[in-house]
Structure 1
Amino acid sequence: MILLEAILILYVFLIALLVVGFIKLPSHNIPQDKITTTGFSILIPFRNEAENLERLLKSLAALQYPKARFEILLINDASTDNSVEIIETFLLTHKLPLKILDNERFSGSPKKDALTKGIAHAAFDWIVTTDADCEVPVLWLSLFNGLAVKKDIQFIAAPVSFFPKKGILNAFQQLDFLSLQGTTIGSFGLNQAFMCNGANLAFSKTEFLKLNGYEKTNHIASGDDLFLMQKFSKANSKGVVYLKTKEALVLTTTQKTLNDLLHQRKRWAAKASAYTSNFAIATSFLVFFGNLSVLAGFFFLEQIGFLILLKFTLDFTLIYLSAILFDQKKVLKNYIWVMLVYPFFTVYVAVASQFGRFEWKGRFFKK
């Protein structure tokens, strides 16, 4: 009983800190000055994304940024559908500085290989990454530019959320993702950044090469985002920043089935054992054992019910802050049932990710 209480108290303290960090981190406004425009190379690996590419390409064509100051490199990772044909057809009616490259495999991570190929061909020093199932905002590059021109900034993380869709599975994913975004923003506000999302990142190519890129982590299938951020942060923590504004929000698709969702979350969780940040390691342990304690605590509600209620309240506070920032308050009505399901989901994914395997883009990987 004492152990359960101690874990829940530590968890509550952690989330309270993240709430403070979220509030503390300043928001960024749309740049109004005609400042020097940074050149950006946008890298997008893709594999069998025929159903998503047209939406992505339309959003890229709508970018409000000088076309001479950015390029788009789409890296084809052995697609077997008509993805390439869709891109080529789109370019017949839209003028975009876009090239298609073929991925070259040399490690255990297809995505890191694709990004490495793209970086090698990038014409500009600032690299921006997103995914093929995303939609980017019109002021995307302008907002990155507002930070990239500042001295010493070398790595910019930015927000990601889901397209709003109906259904309980989509509601669950939206709330889960708002929680992850809240944790990400809170950690930046505490100067303990340990999470980011490769669907919305920008970083210096020069510094990437100096740090030897994805070396030492390219045996791990995913993690092209956070492991790279850890490298940048270790070299210069002040050079790693977060672009806190709804205007920079990149939207992506939810997983269609529960099985797809479990594979995705197992892939994400499998990275935890390779964390190098003490704060990241402590957070991972507290999230796992905090949710495990909730499951055990249902048998001792009289003794620790208050702590469980406090946990749910602080979890909601962090999610609420994210929902307000991204104007996604409607999904909050699902919080009560999601909070009851979430501990089971989290504990299962954490355990399964360390012992099982997961599917990603038609390929199977192990931790």
Structure 2
Amino acid sequence: MNIFDYIILYSLIVIWLIIFINVILVIGGYLYYLDILKENLVQELKEYPFVSVLVPAHNEGKVIEKTAKALLELEYPKDKYEVIIINDNSSDNSAEILGKVKEEYKNRNFIIINTDKTTGGKGKSTALNIGYKQSKGEILAVYDADNTPEKKALKYLIKTLVSDEKLGAVIGKFRCRNKNVNILTKFINIETLTFQWMAQAGRWKLFKLCTIPGTNFVIRRKILDEINGWDTKAITEDTELSFRMYRMGYKIKFMPLSVTWEQEPQTLNVWFKQRSRWAKGNIYVVLKNFKYIFDKSAGATRFDILYYILIYVFFLSATIISDAIFLLGAIEVVHINIVGYNTILWIMAYSVFVLSILVAISTEKGELSIKNTIIVIIMYFTYCKLWGIVAALGFYNYIKDVIFKREVKWYKTERF
């Protein structure tokens, strides 16, 4: 064996390890979905807590009216929740649109906070802190500005949260409402069902561990009071908040029956900007919390730190190496002695990848179809390869932020 054989062997081991972890999570997630179907969530609470629903928004004129009305029409006692939209330094017609909605729902607990570049405009975390300071709920819920939650979404979250004092937060899931627009949105739909929601379900079932997403979740106010709100330096404020909560001894549970529908990127350019931002934000969180990986008191946080390191360091390097050596071998620049074993292991890994995704999407009505099976088959060679580029961009942009000490600001996903 030569040096390239050992490098290929390293990449195969890492790729197989990540696939194995995801398969275990899918199995655990599938079992958790079966558990949820057995729970009795029909019975109403004797008394519902007051909830403040926060919506940070920046230039969201295309979607904000639909979001505001959906939140105001939730199936939750009307006198037991308020909706607070932080229209943060917007230069479009968001303020005008929200003003009309407020007039239409003038008898409801609907608050609009309009900020400018002086009072706001510093990013999502800062906007959330502005809304949090003006809210009065003992529980806070967060939704993105492009969300249309199902009517019972908030009720499912609250029922789950109040059932266990050890829960600091409960998360629902978001679904892709524009999934049929093009091949990219079809890929994103499959990705969210598998690598986000089935993985979240599996992590809760197996490890009692979840990570807060950016939308459709509730959190106890006393936690935010204790940590003084969201970290304004964090781009992925949801992941950062999750890590802090676990170190405080709280759990975060996944309630898959709580669903919100959101708009996903429809072009590669928008997708690249969004996902590289996520990658950059997760790198910040991992580096901030790396010291806890050897701290037993950090609890479940250590699993997530290790998982992110596996993804953003080892898996990224393994995929880049395997693709590069494959191309170099194809043009006979390098010679690989374990080609046969490499091919067999790759075929096995690819087969497991496809089967695990098909199992994951089978939990959603109408998703396990011939069309989606074809999407999954080609996903490995296309969408998954783009992820490597996104992660590399995230690293590059994070380094630039550190070197040039760039301030956190709004990274708005373009709406359609």
For the residue of structure 2 that corresponds to 1:75, the secondary structure is strand
For the residue of structure 2 that corresponds to 1:158, the secondary structure is strand
For the residue of structure 2 that corresponds to 1:279, the secondary structure is helix
Structure 1 position 65, deviation (Å): 1.0
Is the aligned partner of 1:41 residue 2:46?
no
Structure 1 residue corresponding to 2:343, chosen from 305, 316, 322: 305
Is the aligned partner of 1:338 residue 2:379?
yes
Structure 2 residue corresponding to 1:291, chosen from 291, 300, 319: 319
Is the aligned partner of 1:148 residue 2:161?
yes
Moved more, 131-140 or 348-357: 348-357
Is the aligned partner of 1:72 residue 2:111?
no
Q: Give per-residue Cα distances to partners, 1:201-224, cap 9 Å, x unaligned.
A: 110111122133334xx223x212
Structure 1 position 50, deviation (Å): 1.0
Question: Matched residues in 2 for 1:286 and 1:314: separation?
Answer: 20
Question: Matched residues in 2 for 1:172 and 1:4: separation?
Answer: 25
For the pair shown, which has the larger CA radius of gyration, 1 or 2? 2
Q: Give per-residue Cα distances to partners, 1:308-353, cap 9 Å, x unaligned.
A: 2333333334433442333333434311222111342011111111
Is the aligned partner of 1:125 residue 2:135?
no
Structure 1 position 160, deviation (Å): 1.2
Is the aligned partner of 1:243 residue 2:255?
yes
**What is the total number of aligned residue pairs between the two structures?**
357
Which blocks of at least 5 consecutive residues in structure 2 are unaligned?
290-304, 330-335, 402-409
Structure 1 position 135, deviation (Å): 0.6
Structure 2 residue corresponding to 1:278, chosen from 306, 310, 314: 306
- Return the letter of the residue paired with 1:154: G
TM-score, normalization: structure 1? 0.87
Structure 2 residue corresponding to 1:101, chosen from 113, 116, 124: 113
- Return the letter of the residue paired with 1:166: V
TM-score, normalization: structure 2? 0.78
Structure 1 equivalent of residue 362 of structure 2: 324
Structure 2 equivalent of residue 9 of structure 1: 16
Is this contact kept in 2: 1:294–1:343, CA < 8 A?
A: no
Q: Give per-residue Cα distances to partners, 1:143-165, cap 9 Å, x unaligned.
A: 01211212322111221121132
Structure 1 position 129, deviation (Å): 0.4
Structure 2 equivalent of residue 31 of structure 1: 41
Question: Matched residues in 2 for 1:305 and 1:131: separation?
Answer: 44
Is the aligned partner of 1:182 residue 2:198?
yes
| Distance of aligned partners of 1:34 and 1:181 in 2 relative to their CA distance in 1, 3 Å threshold | closer
Structure 1 position 297, deviation (Å): 6.8
| Distance of aligned partners of 1:193 and 1:100 in 2 relative to their CA distance in 1, 3 Å threshold | same
Is the aligned partner of 1:360 residue 2:411?
yes
Question: Matched residues in 2 for 1:131 and 1:251: separation?
Answer: 10
Aligned-residue CA RMSD (Å): 2.7
Moved more, 155-164 or 291-300: 291-300
Is the aligned partner of 1:209 residue 2:237?
no
Is the aligned partner of 1:53 residue 2:69?
no
| Identical residues among aligned pairs (%) | 19
